[in-house]
Structure 1
Amino acid sequence: MQAVIIVGGGMVGLSLALMLAKQNIKVKLLEAIRYPDYGAADDIPYHSSFDARNSALSRRSVQIYQELGLWDKLQQYATPIYQVHISEQGSFGKAKLINQHEGVESFGQVIENAWLGRVLLTEVRQTTNIELIDGVQVTSLKQDVEQAYLTVKREEETFELSTALVIAADGRDSFCRQAIGIGVDVHDYDQVAIVTTVQTSKPHQHVGFERFSALGPLALLPLPGEYRRSVVWPVKKGTEQEWLGEHNEQHFLNALQQTYGDRAGKFIKTGQRFCYPLTQVLAHKQVVGRVVLMGNAAHTIHPVAGQGFNLCLRDAHVLIRYLSHQFQQQQDLGDTQVLMAYEKARLNDQQKVIFFCDRVVKGFSNNNPLLKFARNTGLLAFDFIPGVKPLIANFAMGLRA
């Protein structure tokens, strides 16, 4: 049987390839950028597909990596979240989730994308039924009732590939999505995310903070090392230069201190800050013929609540279930009806997560006094109304997908 072709070798593409390989399905994985050659154990050069950002892996995502046999390798780079504190700067509303109260070991694990990417890439390179082809551009994607056909270019060399199934995981601006004529709905949040790592005087004690401030919703999450924390801070587009560069380090630390108060102690040091534009991009379809969209090619969402990558992993896990059944029955892996059944099966979970993240961003970006009072009352109610916490906790952990 022909190899499935995955276009896009970021964290979703690498994870997908390993899931397919575990089902004994052959894979060709195409990536536009040359992957790094890792040297020493502590050497993690950033790559465009797994960069300076961090991922808060939900409990369901951890379970998926456990099923792949990868969690033991990932865990050494991950930090569990035992508590989540949610609040709004200058307001009375506060809410808290504690793992022991919800009967779970943790709410998830925070891992730096550079480490996650390194572990995934190393595993892919060691897997015999995955052919990794990096440094290539897909310049054409066409299909008929029997096959999908790709034209691939590497420098001056051009070659043709064909397959029963193409999985397009080539990002927010997906070439494959455009090539097969799938349109998108785009919403620009007029924000960029400032991403970095900070050191604080108080140990993080495995507590994650979500702090809604006048500048934007600020996430502070624990990292390996007792005093290291990741920062993801969406700010208004056009103001990002105020926070970037060595000369702005103390200004950035002062802003964090003002926003958080003494909850984390003193913000002592910050690493290099990076910025990423924030837009919501939703494909009108996720399946056309023998091509299925995956990851940010299907849905790019706001990072608030850290749901994006977890949603993509759940998509991948369900797709593999459909493809595994086809493979075991020696049936067509690119059967459009099967792929459309996958798409239908995932819509409910996707729509809930997309709606939730979008509402949180817009709801906490509005400074109308009545709305501000309502949302802070809601945060207080979250702490006191029976049954609400387990519902929200399970949603955040990906256990109600």
Structure 2
Amino acid sequence: MQQEVIIVGGGMVGLSLSLMLAKQNIAVKLLEAIKYPNYDDANLAPYHSSFDARNSALSRRSVQIYQELGLWDSLQEHATPILQVHITEQGSFGKARLKAEQEKVESFGQVIENAWLGRVLLTQVQKEKNIELIDGVKVTSLTQTENEANIEAERDGEKLSLTAKLVIAADGRDSFCRKALGVGASVHDYDQVAIVTTVQTSKPHDHVGFERFSHLGPLALLPLPGEYRRSVVWPVKKGTEDEWLGDENDQHFLDALQETYGDRAGKFEKTGKRFCFPLSQVLAEKQAVGRVVLMGNAAHTIHPVAGQGFNLCMRDAYVLVRYLTEQLAKSEDIGEPSMLLDYEKSRLTDQQRVIKFCDSVVRGFSNQNPILKLIRNTGLLAFDLIPGIKPLVANYAMGLKA
């Protein structure tokens, strides 16, 4: 008999995970609170709450996972490789550079707009016979017994009762399922919001990704499809976002980018609509409770400074599927609590390393103390000059050493 999994949360992690499970002949019921958009126009990718204006820098490991799923050709049409990474601090001497050619890799990863990533994933999910997609559904209860997990939900006034051997909660930073399980979470508010948009520059991006630490916040400028299009992710102090949003502030925003980046990208000519997202770190105290596993932002929400959040979630999902596949091969229960605890334990080293790194970068570069600025800029120089450091960091950033 085919064993079934319920996934709560149909964002990019939930969709990706459902496709990994379906490939292993595991039946999936995928529940999403928000109605998905209709894709009537082949050239458009409408925003959804889970596929919004943000972009994802897919690590080499994430790209490999999508290749295994047979999805990369469709995703590649909307993605752009990162061939170089430049890290600098405004008004300081330190700099570090990584080149894919020197590290003997095709690229460090690929940048894709979340709206397109979501569209490709959703289109594939809708074709999968092993996935039942239920959107516009509100989960109202999560309980479990020794042998099964139970979901109560509502959809268009109709009550639903669902049962499975395993529930995977990928329902976001404010996860209902996490709270229903009684699992606490540590929360750190960075007192920042991320300003996100797309810009056009006079110089081609040449597949270079920039990370520029400024007094306003760590500014990431990444290449997008189209020779002169770049994505901007700029965390700024909470409460200052109105200064950067709205059509009337277009030129002010472009001028600030120009001042921060100088002429590395040429002239910042046009900007799209800006969106803002609050930034905080949310870490669940447990990730496996009985027959329920927390996944994605429900398990760990981290700062986007190094673009590692989604890639970490993809590695979590991939390892969980491996554990479930091994259970199937032995004809054993895929919701076995002890096995799920083993999965959680296996992921802690990778998770803690990424979480600590991202948090340290944010805190370290936010401090404008002159002595600390000297130390970190000396560190950037050392990174650029000392043999052996670059390959180690490059492999780590690509998710190949996790």
Q: TM-score, normalised to structure 1's length?
A: 0.99
SS of equivalent residue, structure 1 residue 97: strand
Q: After TM superposition, where is structure 1 displaced by more than 6 Å over at least 4 residues in a row? A: none
SS of equivalent residue, structure 1 residue 320: helix
Q: Distance in 2 between matches of 1:137 and 1:184?
A: 22
SS of equivalent residue, structure 2 residue 177: helix
Q: Which moved more, 1:1-10 or 1:211-220?
A: 1-10
**Structure 1 match to 2:253:** 252
Q: Distance in 1 between matches of 2:162 and 2:42?
A: 36
SS of equivalent residue, structure 1 residue 102: coil
Alignment of 1:200-239 (within 5 A): 200-239=201-240
**Structure 1 match to 2:242:** 241
State the AA in 2 paired with 1:29. Answer: L
1:41 positional shift:
1.2
Q: String of CA shifts for 1:256-283, please: whole Å, max 9, x gaps.
A: 0000000000000000000000000000
1:159 positional shift:
1.6
1:20 positional shift:
0.1
Check conservation: 2:3, 2:334, Cα contact below 8 A: no
1:2 positional shift:
3.9
Q: Distance in 1 between matches of 2:76 and 2:297?
A: 25
State the AA in 2 paired with 1:66. Answer: Q
Q: Distance in 1 between matches of 2:50 and 2:368?
A: 36
- Percent identity for Structure 1 against Structure 2: 76
Q: Distance in 1 between matches of 2:129 and 2:337?
A: 28
**Structure 2 match to 1:26:** 27
**Structure 2 match to 1:373:** 374
Mark the runs of 5 or more structure 2 residues left unpaired by the alignment: none
Q: Distance in 2 between matches of 1:122 and 1:293?
A: 25
**Structure 1 match to 2:337:** 336
Q: Distance in 2 between matches of 1:156 and 1:74?
A: 36
Q: String of CA shifts for 1:202-228, please: whole Å, max 9, x gaps.
A: 000000000000000000000000000
Q: Distance in 2 between matches of 1:247 and 1:386?
A: 48
Q: Distance in 1 between matches of 2:185 and 2:364?
A: 24
**Structure 2 match to 1:137:** 138
**Structure 2 match to 1:41:** 42
Alignment of 1:234-383 (within 5 A): 234-383=235-384
**Structure 2 match to 1:54:** 55
1:144 positional shift:
1.0
Question: Does residue 96 of structure 1 match 2:79?
Answer: no
Q: Distance in 1 between matches of 2:158 and 2:129?
A: 25
SS of equivalent residue, structure 1 residue 176: helix
**Structure 1 match to 2:157:** 156
SS of equivalent residue, structure 2 residue 102: helix
Q: Distance in 2 between matches of 1:3 and 1:135?
A: 21
Count of residues in Structure 1 that have an aligned counterpart in Structure 2? 401
State the AA in 2 paired with 1:190. Answer: D
Q: Distance in 2 between matches of 1:159 and 1:198?
A: 45
State the AA in 1 paired with 2:195. Answer: I
Q: Distance in 1 between matches of 2:4 and 2:138?
A: 18
Q: Distance in 2 between matches of 1:224 and 1:335?
A: 44
Q: Distance in 1 between matches of 2:14 and 2:157?
A: 25
Alignment of 1:63-102 (within 5 A): 63-102=64-103
Q: Distance in 1 between matches of 2:134 and 2:42?
A: 24
State the AA in 2 paired with 1:292. Answer: V
1:329 positional shift:
1.8
SS of equivalent residue, structure 2 residue 101: helix
Mark the runs of 5 or more structure 1 residues left unpaired by the alignment: none
1:155 positional shift:
2.7
State the AA in 2 paired with 1:7. Answer: V
Q: Distance in 1 between matches of 2:336 and 2:233?
A: 40
1:108 positional shift:
0.3
Q: TM-score, normalised to structure 2's length?
A: 0.99
1:39 positional shift:
1.0
**Structure 1 match to 2:111:** 110
Q: String of CA shifts for 1:80-126, please: whole Å, max 9, x gaps.
A: 00000000000000010011111111000000000000000000000
Q: Which moved more, 1:149-158 or 1:28-37?
A: 149-158
SS of equivalent residue, structure 1 residue 377: helix
SS of equivalent residue, structure 1 residue 367: coil
Q: Distance in 1 between matches of 2:394 and 2:203?
A: 26
Q: Distance in 1 between matches of 2:269 and 2:375?
A: 35
Q: Distance in 1 between matches of 2:160 and 2:386?
A: 61
SS of equivalent residue, structure 1 residue 14: helix
Q: Distance in 1 between matches of 2:236 and 2:205?
A: 24
